Amino acid sequence: MSEASIVDITPFLAKHQLPLKYQYLSEQFFIPLAHDILESKKNNTPIFVAINGCQGSGKTTLADFLVTWFSNNTPFTSVALSIDDFYLSKAHRQGLAKDVHPLFATRGVPGTHDVGLMNTTISRLLAKEVGVPLPKFDKQHDDCSPEQTWQCNNKPIDIIILEGWCVGSEPQPLFSLSEPINELERQYDKEGVWRRCVNSCLANEYKSVFSKIDYTVMLKAPSFEDVFKWRQEQEQKLIAAKGEGDGTMSDEQLVHFISHFERITRENLNTLSAKANALLELDSNRDISAMHLTSDDTLQPIIFTDLDGTLLDHADYNTKNISSLLQSLQAAHIPVVFNTSKTFCEVVELKNELNIQQPFIVENGAAAYLPVDYFELKPIGCTQVGAYWCYAFAKPLSNLLSDLDSLSSEYKSHYKLFSDLSSEQISSLTGLDEAHARRAQTRDFSDPLYWHGSDELLNAFVNDVKALGYEIKIGGRFIHIAKNTDKSAAQQWLVKQISQHFRKPLTVIALGDSDNDKQMLEQADIAIIIHNPSSKKPVKLTHNKARYSQSPAPLGWIEEITTLPCISSILNTIEERKSHG
């Protein structure tokens, strides 16, 4: 159930010599990010993922982590490419420096990459070609590695990752180029030729590659000043290890070097961060302080539903018409929680028949049950009942029976406890066969009443029961008695448990058909009342607006759920992905 499973990444930490805190980062951020990328992938179609981040932000390590995680946890193949491996040769860049502008001698900015090669490589990978050469650049010698040393993919690639400081960058408006932004541009690009050429490259050649991107991750630094500080710290470590002059830069040289990247870096901090599918915000120590996924802006629906007369036809309890939709909702990770007066035995049988594994609430909120593997840890306060965790809200049934015995004997001839009804009577009242009737009579917390007396005597009975601290709900067929429990309390408890396992805020949808469902419906974000011609007391909400179905169950349930935008958008997206397959 948990969207971010805990995974041992000890070998990965050792490979990259990373601190243990990276395990925490992976659990909190990187694994949920991997799941989000997978959810964005269309069936049988490769996905092109961009990782943008300034120097020292950890983009290369993140790319390798994702490749490692996809390899170990999914059937998908993946590859991480760096835009640095597509640099033009030293001779080519020297030619640009001579013919176009001297600043092109420094590799890094748009215009210093072999965009044609990059476009061809990525296009071939997206076409699922095998044997595609993957370029490498030798930074030590500042030149392309020999082609015979390049590796090739031996399988079609499902997830292509391209990381780099300017990956996904967009051109600036022309008016933004008129004034220099740093000393480098003031001294060496007085006429703006270099920056206009860089901008033109982004608008044209680089756009041919970046327009193919399906999903963008941005590792966002707090400011450009922090980027400089990080690079300065890196240089100081190199100087401490190697000494000055051995491939290291003084502060003055560093300012000159990093100024080449300032314009685009600042632009990305201002604009790309608002467009990224995943934004990971870094603090001044380069630790991730927050992550925002655009998919989080879509609320996560969770459905709580009554059964008889709401999800199931009151007459025959047939599940055939509803089974397909319930399967689709489960496949879309939309929880459907049965919140019913039925017993544990009845609901388990129904869930097995429908082949769904979801939490459920029984006996009008008396207890909530969750499959033991639904969460990684047992919820606090639960006990195990078979294959389920149980959280009980109500006292055992014996307490209720004792209190009913204490009431006036006049009432007893005018009602029957559900557990005292014969199989024939249950079948006549509910349409249940003998096996289903036995499961319905196996009760742990409550025992509904079938009232066959006058309304006047019923009012007196209700008042006496309330005086004992019980609440009474009049359902479609039976009267339900409970103390300090109702469907809404159990619903709220489950919402709290489930919300801890979703990154997105929950939208609670509740569906019912009778007064017995009122409090559950009042607590929902979206309340839906299903038309039930046989209900003795149709529900009317006090504190919440409700939608009303035109059709009874199950058609009314299907029509209302599938027309909700928060549901239909998810189901349509999944259907669209299938169609691409």
Q: Report the alpha-carbon angle 24-30-277, nearest 5.
A: 145
Give the residue from 305, 334, 355, 356 showing the smallest Cα distance to 571.
Answer: 334
3-class secondary-structure state, position 73: helix
Q: 70-81 burial, b for 16+ CB within 10 Å, e for fewer?
A: beeeeeebbbbb
| Distance in angstroms (rounded) separating the CA atoms of residues 380 and 162 | 43
Q: Return the structure tokens found at 319.
A: 């599940």
Distance (Å, rounded) from C-alpha 343 to C-alpha 259? 70
> Rounded CA gap, 364 and 341, in Å?
5
Single out the residue of 326, 556, 500, 348 nearest to residue 436, CA to CA. 348
List strand residue ranges (DSSP E) for 54-154, in order: 78-82, 133-134, 137-138, 143-144, 151-152
Catalytic residue among 114, 158, 226, 306: 306
Query: What is the DSSP secondary-structure string of 338-370?
Result: EE-SS-HHHHHHHHHHHT----EEETTTTEEEE
Dihedral (CA of 52, 53, 54, 60) sign = negative
Burial class (CB within 10 angstroms; exposed 0-12, middle 13-18, buried 19+) of 138 = middle
- Contact call for residues 341 and 480 (beta carbons, < 8 A): yes
Please name the helix (run of DSSP H) or strand (run of DSSP E) that holds residue 449, with its range, or none: strand 449-451
306 is catalytic: yes
Q: What is the full DSSP assignment across 544-572?
A: S-EEE-SS-TTHHHHHHHHH-HHHHHHHH
Token pair for 246? 């051995």
Tell me how long the chain is.
Answer: 581
Rounded to whole angstroms, how far apart are CA atoms 94 and 352?
71
150: Cα separation from own chain's centroid: 37
List active site positions: 306
